[in-house]
Amino acid sequence: MSMPFFRAAIAAVFLCGVAEAAEQTGDKEPDPVVATVNGEEIRLSDVGYAQESLPDQYRQVPLNAVYRLLVNSLVNAKLAAAAARAEGMHERDDIKRRLAHIHEQLLERAYMIRYIDDKITEDALKERYDAMAKEMGESEEIKARHILLETESKAKEIIAELKDGADFAELAKERSSGPSKDQGGDLGFFTKEQMVPAFTEAAFALKKGQITETPVQTRFGWHVIKIEDRRAVKPPIYNEAKQALRGEISQELGAALIGELRAKSVIKKFKPDGSPLDEPAATPGAATPGAGQ
């Protein structure tokens, strides 16, 4: 995921956190003052912005869990920033350039969020869901067991024993080297995309109850496969899929928007020594990953 879309996702988390914190503290004002430093206000939204800069594991926790820590951090920042201004550090060129960079990042995020939110309507989400459900409904998944062996000859011995009436699950427990051996080789239900090609091709060619006539080789070893059931893939319900679909559409819209902006612009890039940077010609309208950073 490129940075513009990542920032948009973080912003959505932040807004939810602010609303949650306001509700839990009983504040009716959407952005209440949470501290003052020499008369300067720190608001709840400032706490949310501070949470955005935390490591990933802390961004995922409820805002109230890190609330006191963040407020104290903001108070300290206010005090140190005031001291820096008193010494005139805010007039330094390097500080101004960094502030300008932060300013552009904030504008980028706000613009992307507004653009994407305007496009992702409930109708758009339901349309994407219907297409996904139709595609999934036309696909199939199978339930299988397998026995993994180190050599082809050992796999052939297993097939011979199975033809003589041996129990597949018991042989898997006794002889398989795969991680599913304790479950009798049970792999559960899976789709074609979830297994390596050679295994998928052999498994999906079998009917319910059938066992492979010859061993199947993959990078893991030699497999003997039994199909226990087949069924059409059941799509998740709309509410379960909604958030993932929103993320999927957001990435597509963001990439398309950046592609349009780049296509209408004159962009020149240079190497660290200032000489021209030669790049392969981009596909018209295609976005570059991480554009806007």
Model confidence pLDDT, tens digit, residues 81-128: 999 999 999 999 999 999 999 999 999 999 999 999 999 999 999 999
Backbone angles phi, psi at 146, to 5 degrees: -145, 160
Which residues, 6 or more positions from 181, have their beta carbon under 8 angstroms from its beta carbon?
Answer: 148, 172, 173
Average pLDDT of span 235-253: 92
State the Cα–Cα distance between residues 154 and 149, nearest whole angstrom: 6
For the chain, list the domains and their CATH numbers. 3-119 (no CATH), 140-232 (3.10.50.40)
Residue 4 pLDDT: 40
Q: Which helix (H) or strand (E) holds 254?
A: helix 238-263
Across the chain, what does the average pLDDT equal? 86
From residue 279, how far is each of 150, 269, 276 by CA, in Å?
Answer: 48, 9, 9
Residue 56 pLDDT: 81
| Residues paired with 216 in a beta bridge | 223
From residue 272, how far is each of 172, 269, 275, 276, 289 by CA, in Å?
Answer: 60, 10, 8, 9, 21
Query: 148 with 261: CB under 8 angstroms?
Result: no
* Mode of pairing for the β-strands spanning 40-43 and 33-37: antiparallel
* Mode of pairing for the β-strands spanning 221-232 and 216-218: antiparallel
For 32-78, the DSSP string reads -EEEEETTEEEEHHHHHHHHHTS-HHHHTS-GGGGHHHHHHHHHHHH
Burial state string for 79-115 with b = 16 or more CB within 10 A and e = fewer than 16: eeeeeeeeeeeeeeeeeeeeeeeeeeeeebbeebbeb
Average pLDDT of span 58-70: 88
State the Cα–Cα distance between residues 10 and 249, nearest whole angstrom: 16
Lowest mean pLDDT among 167-181, 200-214, 230-244, 257-271: 230-244
Provide the percentage of residues in the chain whose pLDDT is more than 70.
85
State the Cα–Cα distance between residues 224 and 159, nearest whole angstrom: 7
Is the pLDDT at 218 greater than 90, yes or no? yes
Residue 282 pLDDT: 52
Lowest mean pLDDT among 1-15, 170-184, 223-237, 264-278: 1-15
Is the pLDDT at 283 greater than 60, yes or no? no
Q: State the pTM of this model.
A: 0.55
Which residues, 6 or more positions from 27, have their beta carbon under 8 angstroms from its beta carbon?
Answer: 44
| pLDDT band (50, 70, 90) for residue 212 | very high
Lowest mean pLDDT among 18-27, 45-54, 83-92, 245-254: 18-27
209, 213, 218, 220: CA torsion to nearest 10? 70
Provide the percentage of residues in the chain whose pLDDT is more than 90.
71
Instruction: Quickly tell me which residue has 């490129």 as its tokens.
Output: 2
State the Cα–Cα distance between residues 14 and 54, nearest whole angstrom: 12
| pLDDT band (50, 70, 90) for residue 21 | very low
